[in-house]
Amino acid sequence: MSLMKDLVTPDGRLKENRVTCHDVYHYLKHNRPHTEIALSLEIFPEDVLALIHYIVEHEDAVEANWQRVEAAIAKGNPPEVEAILERSGKKLQLRREALLQRNAQAANCAQGIADGQPPDQPHVVRVSIP
């Protein structure tokens, strides 16, 4: 067992990796086998077993943290974060529309050239995004 303990830091994270016991705990809560967890997290089965060992040794603390995270998720984002997400979504949509327009213009230009027609003007599209 000491070899397993050597794979995990005191705070429940794999050494030289970002995977934590909480990542594994999520899969365990959904009754996933350790081999599937290893494949999903792209780590060795032995690493999963070491994290499971950590979870068993620190069950109360891991479960308490799990409950805090689940409560925070259920609560959702504060209004200021939702406002930022909405603005970002609108900005992204504008950029997407500009890109689609530019690609359509380039395709029309290319089709004209393919049909033997010289382009009327250089097809440079400048887009200003707020």
DSSP labels, 27-91 = HHHTT--HHHHHHHHTS-HHHHHHHHHHHHHTHHHHHHHHHHHHHHHHH---HHHHHHHHHHHHH
What is the pLDDT, as a whole number, of residue 128? 65
Q: Mean pLDDT throughout 15-39?
A: 94
Token pair 């259920």: residue = 74
Query: pLDDT band at 126, cuts 50/70/90?
Result: low
Whether residues 63 and 94 share a domain: the answer is no
Range of the structural domain that residue 104 is part of:
77-120+122-126
Sign of the torsion angle spanned by Cα atoms 93, 95, 97, 103: negative
Please tell me the distance from the alpha carbon of residue 57 to that of residue 67, in angstroms, as a whole number. Answer: 18
Whether residues 82 and 63 share a domain: the answer is no
Whether residues 65 and 38 share a domain: the answer is yes
Least confident of 3-12, 64-73, 79-88: 3-12
pTM of the model as a whole: 0.62
Whether residues 44 and 102 share a domain: the answer is no
pLDDT digits (tens, 9 = 90+) for 78-109: 999 999 999 999 999 999 999 999 988 888 87
If one counts the domains in the chain, the total is: 2
Whether residues 87 and 104 share a domain: the answer is yes
Query: pLDDT band at 1, cuts 50/70/90?
Result: very low
Q: Mean pLDDT throughout 18-36?
A: 95
Whether residues 6 and 49 share a domain: the answer is yes
Whether residues 28 and 85 share a domain: the answer is no
Please tell me the distance from the alpha carbon of residue 45 to that of residue 120, in angstroms, as a whole number. Answer: 63
